[in-house]
Structure 1
Amino acid sequence: MNSNAIPPNQIILTGDRPTGPLHLGHYVGSLKNRITFQDQHTQFLMLADAQAFTDNMGDRDKVRRNVLEVALDYLAVGIDPAKSTIFIQSQLPELTELTFYYLNLVTVARLERNPTVKEEIRLRDFQRDIPAGFLAYPVSQTADITAFKATLVPVGADQAPMIEQSNEIVRKFNTNVGQDILVEAAPVIPALGRLPGIDGKAKMSKSLGNALALSASADEVSKAVKMMYTDPNHLRVDDPGQVEGNVVFTYLDAFEPDIAFVDDLKAKYRRGGLGDMVIKRHLEQRLQALLAPIRERRAEFAKDPVEVMRMLAQGTDKARAVAAQTLSEVKAALGLNYF
């Protein structure tokens, strides 16, 4: 489902693994939509610290400290804790208990066939040394989604199989207990897709060293744009240039609202007569205008980390109350309401 076609008054669950500050790829892929969603829907934003442990158990402090960093990014871009419930995953034991029950509704073979899981295992070169928690991530994600009876889950196109498997578990549970306790969810996939890194070789990722953080300084923005991959065959200004695969134009498509202006730049670049530095200068101006106020708001919120954590505590309490109600219904349906 495209974000432009969402019916009103939906329950939306989304979030991020707190393994580092958020970057421009997150902004394009999800943060812009979340700002809109919070005025139209019931939105839960999860800091998935427990899930981050599936491949960060050896660097637990990184996960802990980045809970605050990601929360600061949320606030800086305009996510309002009065409109969106922001919570910390590990502080909801109800999610762990739901995961335990759902594990009985899926086989190891089915988990291994999940295309998203298979690709993530390949990228991390786990081979057969796969942490069990990592392999079972689709089950954990099902607990996250169903705890809030979310009807929509914003994800990248590569994550759609995760929602499909979550819905399989929902259907199996409901069939097993003979009641419609859990709710299926639909994926919401951004129209633009995944933003490439500034090197043009992979998705934007801090671990790959090709990301531009939302908190980047003006000098860091300028340096990143100058390093961006364009067309290696566009050696002289008069040479015809290729737009497809040109990272600068990909970013202009993502961040320049004047579509006609970008189309005109593309036409000139293809004909020849437009230099790389000209298009990079346009892009830098747009990124500096976008990130400067975000950076300033972030710095203000960062002055009072105690207040930010208090906000997270309030959101976590609210989210836990919702998850506890769902868990109560699940246990009753399973006949686990002994007393």
Structure 2
Amino acid sequence: MYAERVLSGMRPTGRLHLGHYHGVLRNWVKLQEEYPCLFFVADWHALTTNYDSPQVIEDTVWDMLVDWLAAGVDPAQATLFIQSRVPEHAELHLLLSMMTPLGWLERVPTYKDQQEKLANKDLSTYGFLGYPLLQSADILIYRADKVPVGEDQVPHVEITREVARRFNHLYGREPGFEEKAREAARKLGTKRSRLYFELRTRFQQEGDEAALEQAHAVLEETQNLSMTDRERLYGFLEGSSKMLLVEPDALLTESARMPGLDGQKMSKSYGNTIYLREDPDTVAKKIRTMQTDPARVRRTDPGDPAKCPVWQFHVVYSDDATCEWVQQGCRSAGIGCIECKQPVIDAVVAEQEQMRERAQPYVEDPTLVRNIIADGCERARKLAQETMRDVREAMGLSYS
């Protein structure tokens, strides 16, 4: 079994805003302290919908990386890299496309959803149809076993699991596999070997997941196995053969739903954003001019926080005492809308002040970011090359 590893990426399609921070980046900061993480700029993915305006991507990449660092993503804890700087992604994508059924790609829910949402663009392209498979390649090439996603992205992880399973089934067979697996089992020692086979039988015949977990534990605590023997035993245990690509799990993430200034989801396309590292005066002006409950025409009119976009900001930023103050004050007309907005302004400005401080060294010296990415790309590429060696050999492309 391969080590725990988290992979996630983000498209460079414009300046990052608070929706990106509360929806993704805050979670990355937490994950980097719990797991080895790889975070990448998905510039090839951006081309699937922005193929006719690549300048947007080029202009955004470095600013986006500074935003990541400003949010607290730490290159000492996580590997940061740019997708197109690791060409093995494209090679694995090509090889996986040889064995992935067309129907698998057409049934991904976001395929038709995006075509409808971006009806003004011609998305009847080979690249757009294949982008879920490129996502699979991004994950599988690092043998990442955890992918942080929201509920709407779970189908992308599911297709990745199916692709890995199909690849392992087609190419993970080696001559004399069962004999080699049984020989490897003998290296567990008599007692552990007998337990391994008992647990394997229970899992394969009865579907006993607890037996599978117990067998994994037996293999993990056995120190004298080579990586090859370990892979064989995992494959033999689960009814496949050699496990070349790891089936990842969706790591469902908790994220605050960050509203926009108009109460809709925060999005550049809606023009309702507060950008990361935005000037404090601009932030204050944007929040002060937010619409409130339409029922509060006059200062003395009572309101309903549930009908006010500002309340959604309080849910994200304010403590219980402040939220109670808002609820009582709004419903009784005890506070005005300007008063209600001030704690939100203070909280957002304070949050962004830390981001601006973290970003300042990188703004003053852009070579610092370039060096971080150069190092990250080198580390990522070494991992990718290890996977591709195994993939080429399994597919008969390792000529000697």
The equivalent of 1:209 in structure 2 is 271
* Partner secondary structure for residue 53 of structure 1: helix
Q: TM-score, normalised by structure 1?
A: 0.89
Are 2:89 and 1:110 equivalent residues in the alignment?
no
Change in Cα spacing, 1:148 to 1:227, as seen in structure 2 (3 Å) is farther
The equivalent of 2:351 in structure 1 is 290
Change in Cα spacing, 1:237 to 1:299, as seen in structure 2 (3 Å) is same
The equivalent of 1:334 in structure 2 is 395
Q: TM-score, normalised by structure 2?
A: 0.76
**AA at the equivalent of 1:230:** T
Where in structure 2 are the equivalents of 1:33-182 lying within 5 Å?
33-125=27-119, 129-178=123-172, 179-182=242-245
**AA at the equivalent of 2:289:** M
Whether the 8 Å CA contact 1:76–1:301 is kept in 2: the answer is no
- Partner Cα distance (1:27, 1:206) in 2: 14
Deviation at 1:240, TM superposition (A): 4.1
Of 274-283 and 241-250, more deviation after overlay is shown by 241-250
- Partner Cα distance (2:286, 2:278) in 1: 10
- Partner Cα distance (1:270, 1:192) in 2: 28
Which residue of the other structure, out of 376, 379, 392, is the alignment partner of 1:318? 379
Whether the 8 Å CA contact 1:200–1:245 is kept in 2: the answer is no
* Partner secondary structure for residue 292 of structure 1: helix
Change in Cα spacing, 1:338 to 1:311, as seen in structure 2 (3 Å) is same
Are 2:292 and 1:230 equivalent residues in the alignment?
yes
Deviation at 1:43, TM superposition (A): 0.6
Q: Deviations over 1:169-221 (max 9, x none)?
A: 122212222432212222233334542321223x3222332211102101211
Change in Cα spacing, 1:224 to 1:259, as seen in structure 2 (3 Å) is same
Change in Cα spacing, 1:219 to 1:123, as seen in structure 2 (3 Å) is same
Instruction: Give 5+ residue unaligned stretches, structure 1.
Output: 1-8
- Partner Cα distance (1:239, 1:57) in 2: 51
**AA at the equivalent of 2:80:** I
- Partner Cα distance (1:270, 1:104) in 2: 62
Q: Deviations over 1:232-258 (max 9, x none)?
A: 2233445443333532222222223x2
Instruction: Give 5+ residue unaligned stretches, structure 2.
Output: 173-241
Q: Percent identity?
A: 36
Are 2:370 and 1:309 equivalent residues in the alignment?
yes
Whether the 8 Å CA contact 1:156–1:193 is kept in 2: the answer is no
**AA at the equivalent of 2:269:** S
- Partner Cα distance (1:100, 1:198) in 2: 42
Deviation at 1:129, TM superposition (A): 4.3
Whether the 8 Å CA contact 1:192–1:254 is kept in 2: the answer is no
Deviation at 1:229, TM superposition (A): 3.7
Q: Deviations over 1:225-283 (max 9, x none)?
A: 12334322233445443333532222222223x23432442344345433322221110
Whether the 8 Å CA contact 1:157–1:193 is kept in 2: the answer is no
- Partner Cα distance (1:160, 1:142) in 2: 12
